[in-house]
Amino acid sequence: MTEMKKEKKLGRPTIYNEKLAKIICDRIAKGESVRSISRDDKMPDQTTILAWAIDISHPFSKQYDRAREIQAETLTDELHEIADDARNDFMERQTKDGFVALVDHEHIARSKLRIDTRKWAASKLRPKRYGEKVTQEITGKDGGPVQTIAIKPELLALTDEELKELLKSDKI
């Protein structure tokens, strides 16, 4: 009986190094999730990657943050591609009169879901750039500054008519 050589099976990497960090960050920047990367037997477990990322003193943390910013850009680039791709929006069906094109509502709905998911992710990864911008502007007359006036407490008790009379009298 011949003796079989047993191959030494290496486990997942757990020790940080620059080469590994670059591979992980490149994959994140291209749009891949940490979860997906960690499924690769040659990559660290998701827990290890995220532990490096959340430790702000760890050299990986800044690289990870930058990769996530680039990932948001990748996602927004994909939005245009998905929106402009109409290849599967219609399907042909054969009828007794020939072929007819029908709208594939399922494909269109799936494309909308893909777009909405990427928009949401980009807004979370880069909220200042892609987040919802809720602004409210208050201006005065003709867009100028808001005028403020101090009101004497005794004037608050007057009725509208009494205030109109007082304004006409120039006693204010």
Rounded-to-integer distance, Cα 98 and Cα 104, Å: 18
Rounded-to-integer distance, Cα 172 and Cα 54, Å: 62
pLDDT digits (tens, 9 = 90+) for 60-112: 999 999 999 999 999 999 999 999 998 888 888 888 888 888 888 898 999 99
Query: pTM for this structure?
Result: 0.63
The helix or strand, by DSSP H or E, that contains position 157, with its residue range, turns out to be none
Rounded-to-integer distance, Cα 116 and Cα 110, Å: 10
Q: Which long-range contacts (CB under 8 A, 24 or more apart) does 84-89 make?
A: 85/111
pLDDT digits (tens, 9 = 90+) for 137-160: 677 777 788 877 777 778 788 888
Question: What counts of helices (H) and strands (E) characterise the chain?
Answer: 7, 2
CB atoms inside a 10 Å sphere around CB 85:
11
Strands 98-103, 90-95: pairing kind: antiparallel
